[in-house]
Chains A and B, each alone.
Chain A
Amino acid sequence: MGHVEMCLAVAGLKEESVNELTRRLSGDWSDFSAAERAAFAFARKQASEPASIADADVRALEEHYGRDGAWHVIWWASRCHYMTKVADAFQLPLERDNPFWSMPGVPSKPREQKKVLHK
């Protein structure tokens, strides 16, 4: 979760926007679009019970994102589980400074974001 917030900062959100977004995500999702709610509901269901994903769940994504977009949502949602298993198994301490700014291809950190995300 901490890394997601750091990646949101690298994606261009300021600290207050990251906090606002994650606060909304932790709520009932009523202020997200229908397409976003469909993807989040898929991700949540797939996280809890992967074998329960049915034709209707995939069709719903296709209706909102098109066939290609649905694929991308499914691949990405599945990919998250690789990352979390390693993090959970080894209980890695969360970095204090955002290490994603030094990743290849990431633009330079804007001045206003040069402070620690979490204190």
Chain B
Amino acid sequence: MISLRHVIVFLLLLVTATRAWSGTPAARVPVLTDEEAWKKMTFVETERGRQLPVWIRALAVSLPKTAAAMIDLDYAQRMESTLPPLLRAKLRWVAADANRCAYAKAYARFDYVRAGGKAEDIDALPKQMDKLPKEERIALQLVKQLVEAAYTVTDEQVADVVKIHGEKQTVAIVLVAAYANFQDRLLLALGVEVEPDGPYLPIKVSFPKPVKKAPATEDKKEKPKRIVSPPAKEPPPVPEKLDDPEWTALSFDALRQRLDKQIARRQARVRIPDWEAVRAQLPPEMPKPDKPIRIKWSLLTYGYQPRLSAAWLGGLRAFRQESDLDPVFHESMFWVVTRSLQCFY
């Protein structure tokens, strides 16, 4: 007689076999095939038809322009960083390890081996940390700390890294941590596993040059209505109140005081390039701003790492074109993140 247990085992085997058949690794969201994803990204001009990482195929379901920009960002980070490839792979591995992201660890390991390293060396990294040369150790420690508790990083710590690596490379090191903290969160939320024949090499893509529009036209232009899947008619209840003592422990007035301290801070931990210096080295593919950029964050990242920053901002621009999230709502979410991380800039 067939028991319930037999039925469950059969169903599990069926799911596994189906995944293996389609070549699609596990994910908690729908994932397109390579062909379907490339069809959605018709505007991509080079290296079309290559095998795409699962997270890109998942993103392309709803955000194809953003997904294409993410392919470029991934390429820039993995192939065009100014850091030595072995060090970059180690930094990325340490960040993925701290975030407990197995997918990103596998990719960092792949990049490390591709750059000439031994897989067993990167696997042993946590145990070997103290024995590494100082220049490597302080960079790895900085990235690990940025992942785990960025607000605890000290002026002296960054000064040490700058002294050894210089400002440009220090910014590149921090941008590995920044990308890792974005990508790992995305990967973990999507619940993706490494592709059956992955990890894959990064893909070089290019896009048509943006056509410059008159600002007035840009402002008035309405976004095309997207076909979106509707929310549930009766969504599940959400707790009426946030029950989180750590959250409410810091009063609104205390937060204002921290903000004031951030304004009062006299200088950043590295020199911030001025607009003229930044403008002179903006990558050619980047749309040239009409007005000078005055955001210190942007001056710093563009000034020291123009290619990585243009790739990141390209993703952000694509997302803004495709997403119809209300700006007040998404900034409110960002506020929740900055409060959670105690980031007052």
Using CB atoms and an 8 Å cutoff, list the residues of chain A in contact with chain B: 1-5, 7-8, 10-13, 21-23, 25-30, 34-41, 43-44, 46-48, 50-51, 53, 55, 57-58, 60, 62-69, 71-97, 99-100, 102-105, 107, 118
Contact = CB atoms under 8 A, between A and B. Distances in A.
Given A73-B325, A95-B294, A118-B263, A104 B182 contact: no
Q: Which of A53, A67, A71 has the most CB of B within 10 A?
A: A71
B259 to A, nearest CB: 5
A40 B336 contact: yes
* Most chain A Cβ neighbours within 10 Å, of B61, B177, B327, B331: B331
A88 B296 contact: no
B240 to A, nearest CB: 6
B179 to A, nearest CB: 7
B343 A1 contact: yes
Interface string B144-186: 0010001101010010000000000000001101110111111
What DSSP secondary structure best describes chain A's contact surface? helix
Contacts, number: 314
Interface of B: 28-30, 59, 61-63, 66, 99-101, 142, 146, 150-151, 153, 155, 158, 174-175, 177-179, 181-186, 188-191, 215, 218-219, 226, 228-232, 235-244, 247-248, 250-252, 255, 258-260, 262-270, 272, 287, 289-297, 300-301, 312, 315-316, 319, 323-325, 327-341, 343-345
B235 A35 contact: yes
A48 B341 CA distance: 8
Residue among A21, A58, A85 with the most chain B CB within 10 A?
A: A85
Contacts of B323: 72, 75-76
B263 A93 contact: yes
Contacts of B181: 81-82, 84-85
A118 B335 CA distance: 16
A92 B185 contact: no
A67 B29 CA distance: 9
A67 B336 CA distance: 22
A43 B340 contact: yes
A48 B268 CA distance: 26
Contact of A105 (B218, B248, B297): B218
Contacts of B28: 55, 58
Given A76-B323, A84-B338, A94-B262, 8 more contacts: A35-B238, A40-B242, A44-B337, A44-B340, A51-B100, A76-B319, A90-B300, A104-B218
Contacts of B343: 1, 84, 87-88
Nearest to A34: B238
Nearest to A97: B294
A10 B295 CA distance: 14
A55 B297 CA distance: 34
B179 A82 contact: yes
Contact of A73 (B247, B250, B327, B333): B333
25 contacts: A1-B258, A2-B344, A35-B231, A39-B329, A50-B189, A51-B99, A51-B188, A53-B189, A67-B29, A71-B63, A72-B319, A74-B190, A85-B174, A87-B345, A88-B341, A89-B269, A90-B158, A90-B270, A93-B264, A93-B266, A94-B344, A94-B345, A102-B293, A103-B289, A118-B263
